[in-house]
Structure 1
């Protein structure tokens, strides 16, 4: 290539907003832009493309494009700031320029979304398969060995009822999650009184706390505390957090619902209402905190299922809080209990 051609190629590659690389007829890298340098590392110009790109699928696409003169597309992966990145690399022959133009498109979010869908289907299938398998087995037993055994029939029917209730709870939470996700970008227009919501939730969960041997208390609920929001959804947030605290803090613990307000909170950039649900239970390792709001993630899978949990409650809470332009903060440590705080803006 003459100097004028090299200059034009440099300008072209530099002007592209995506990571771009030009490979000449000698199969060496002749030009890269700043985005490609960030992706591939410095010092690529002048080196044979094999020593820079390395990944077999992309190298095969480059070789095929050189041989046939046809555009090829290949996957390319990298790690940026400890995050796995997925790229679609398009290899375009440029015979008049004497080489190939390689352009990388970031497909990470699409790949992650696809993986999330696959994981979601697999998790739902697993969660439904377990109770269905149990019910099918008990039906077979009731028709056979337990046909004339009333005591066994009562015991098996009780277990079947429990498993059916679990499936109903899972389906209810899935529908609720779907609804709050679809509404997440629509800001609520009404007003909600957090003090009234806390009082209603405490009344509704009083029997549960008594049955679990947990003391349920409230602070800061003497006067109304109004926030912009959907009362039904905020009730769901308070109920989910309180029910979790009651079920998992352990007998003899105390669960406290506390309401406070601030004139300026950096998390919502203005006046805020803060609801915290804290317990004096055993707590958990804080390494779990970043994943707690993922669908079906559980700190203790066996215990959660035994308590009737679906693994969707905190995911629902997260989406409702997001819809209200709020923030969810989680604090816990082994032996020190847990605190779940919802920070909501008091002004629209």
Structure 2
């Protein structure tokens, strides 16, 4: 600042000296005054020009480089440019943090919607757009009530109690694929609201399955227990001869065996769900699996057809010399369950075919085909549910627990395979497991 004042006074002195020199013959004093005024006017004009250049720089908004202005205005321009750059950097940092925050919300598995004080959508993430069928760009500033026309939600939004969440039916819900959404509103800022949503369809389905599972297990155990209790009371209260006593004890043994089978199947399911999938290091002979499976199937067939005068026509094709990677116990359980189901539901004298074949694409298929009564198409999607039975009385008569196909499904998934079911009423059924090519190879020499 001192240097600028010195330059100003030096400029004035130069003007006065020039005026005194020019008017040295007539009136030096007057010439000095005129020179001083001219120098002041010229200084002001130069300053105005610098100010105009600074104003033009500000109007253009060319803040990438500082304005080229000298003098006091140059100092103002430099300080202004530094202040603008600092503000721009601060705004850029804030924008970067905002984008990081929005990216984090965008990656959230829950839906997030920001509403203004009039309940209009200011922003929503992709999850919320999927939940409610919104367009994140076109539906901005639309009233959320106009897009989400659920009476329960409308009452919740109009009310004043946001301490709890509500569960509504998703806009894209169908009878075959129901969608249930949990919605929770939170207040923030000046009248604004934060709407959070999460898909609870799987959670509610799991809870329903848990309740059904407990009810089914209780029912399955209660029935044989009731029978056992009745037989015990009979044995305790009635005088029975040896033949009647033996018959009652045999019936009690069957009910106890039924409960034991149920418990074993439940333990098998629990082990399958709670253990890691089998690796590819253990290889099992396919021929050995089919032999064990055939032995179990024939034993069950003899038991079920005893006294009928007819037997099942059970045919097991000789498998190629191949082996499969996986758990021998699990694979045998799955294969035996498919064959045992065919034996249980195929009338005596019916035909059952067991086959192992390599498909053209390198995969392998284990299949069981029977000539039983067949299954209506409406039952097929639910066959692998726990305790689901097409004919519950027939299943109990033959000793089924309703868990066999659930076990097959879990074993199939754990081995990366695919369970296929083909059936028509009156034409029998065909159940098959298709194993990936990576789990099958020719039998290796020991």
Deviations 1:238-274 (A, max 9, x none): 211111111111111111111110241xxxxxx2111
Q: 1:254 to 1:335 in 2, by over 3 A?
A: same
Of 138, 145, 152 in structure 2, the residue corresponding to residue 49 of structure 1 is: 145
The CA deviation at 1:50 is 8.3
| Residue equivalent to 2:353 | 256
Of 125, 136, 139 in structure 1, the residue corresponding to residue 218 of structure 2 is: 125
In the alignment, the residues of structure 2 paired with residue 89 and residue 156 of structure 1 have an alpha-carbon distance, to the nearest angstrom, of 58
The answer (yes or no) to whether the contact 2:181–2:197 under 8 Å persists in 1 is yes
The CA deviation at 1:300 is 0.7
| Residue equivalent to 1:168 | 260
| Residue equivalent to 1:143 | 236
In the alignment, the residues of structure 1 paired with residue 430 and residue 189 of structure 2 have an alpha-carbon distance, to the nearest angstrom, of 64
The CA deviation at 1:301 is 0.5
Structure 2 gaps of 5+ residues are 1-94, 306-310, 440-446
Deviations 1:147-203 (A, max 9, x none): 345554333322221111110110011111111222353435311121221123223
In the alignment, the residues of structure 2 paired with residue 250 and residue 148 of structure 1 have an alpha-carbon distance, to the nearest angstrom, of 35
| Residue equivalent to 2:155 | 59
| Residue equivalent to 2:200 | 107
In the alignment, the residues of structure 2 paired with residue 188 and residue 142 of structure 1 have an alpha-carbon distance, to the nearest angstrom, of 54
Of 224, 227, 232 in structure 1, the residue corresponding to residue 321 of structure 2 is: 224
Of 178, 182, 191 in structure 2, the residue corresponding to residue 88 of structure 1 is: 182
Flag the structure with larger Rg: 2
Deviations 1:57-106 (A, max 9, x none): 773476225xxxx754332332635222222222111233x321212112
In the alignment, the residues of structure 1 paired with residue 431 and residue 250 of structure 2 have an alpha-carbon distance, to the nearest angstrom, of 34
In the alignment, the residues of structure 1 paired with residue 367 and residue 205 of structure 2 have an alpha-carbon distance, to the nearest angstrom, of 32
| Residue equivalent to 1:308 | 399
The answer (yes or no) to whether the contact 1:173–1:312 under 8 Å persists in 2 is yes
Backbone CA RMSD of aligned residues: 2.9
The answer (yes or no) to whether the contact 1:218–1:258 under 8 Å persists in 2 is yes
In the alignment, the residues of structure 2 paired with residue 207 and residue 186 of structure 1 have an alpha-carbon distance, to the nearest angstrom, of 29
In the alignment, the residues of structure 1 paired with residue 104 and residue 415 of structure 2 have an alpha-carbon distance, to the nearest angstrom, of 41
How many residues of Structure 1 are paired with residues of Structure 2 in the alignment?
Answer: 325
Q: 1:200 to 1:40 in 2, by over 3 A?
A: closer
Structure 1 gaps of 5+ residues are 1-7, 265-270
| Residue equivalent to 1:241 | 338
In the alignment, the residues of structure 2 paired with residue 81 and residue 217 of structure 1 have an alpha-carbon distance, to the nearest angstrom, of 46
The answer (yes or no) to whether the contact 1:14–1:32 under 8 Å persists in 2 is no
Q: 1:37 to 1:272 in 2, by over 3 A?
A: closer
The CA deviation at 1:139 is 1.7
The structure richer in strand per residue is 1
In the alignment, the residues of structure 1 paired with residue 239 and residue 415 of structure 2 have an alpha-carbon distance, to the nearest angstrom, of 54
The answer (yes or no) to whether the contact 1:62–1:91 under 8 Å persists in 2 is no
Q: 1:35 to 1:59 in 2, by over 3 A?
A: farther
> Higher relative contact order at CA 8 Å, sep ≥6: structure 1 or structure 2?
1
The answer (yes or no) to whether the contact 1:228–1:345 under 8 Å persists in 2 is no
Q: 1:148 to 1:253 in 2, by over 3 A?
A: closer
In the alignment, the residues of structure 2 paired with residue 167 and residue 281 of structure 1 have an alpha-carbon distance, to the nearest angstrom, of 26
The CA deviation at 1:321 is 1.3
Of 179, 184, 202 in structure 1, the residue corresponding to residue 271 of structure 2 is: 179
The CA deviation at 1:347 is 1.9
The structure richer in helix per residue is 2
Q: Is residue 76 from structure 1 mapped to residue 168 from structure 2 by the alignment? A: yes
TM-score, normalisation: structure 1:
0.82
The answer (yes or no) to whether the contact 1:61–1:74 under 8 Å persists in 2 is no
In the alignment, the residues of structure 2 paired with residue 343 and residue 184 of structure 1 have an alpha-carbon distance, to the nearest angstrom, of 21
The CA deviation at 1:41 is 5.2
TM-score, normalisation: structure 2:
0.66
Q: Is residue 199 from structure 1 mapped to residue 291 from structure 2 by the alignment? A: yes
In the alignment, the residues of structure 1 paired with residue 144 and residue 415 of structure 2 have an alpha-carbon distance, to the nearest angstrom, of 53
In the alignment, the residues of structure 1 paired with residue 425 and residue 328 of structure 2 have an alpha-carbon distance, to the nearest angstrom, of 34
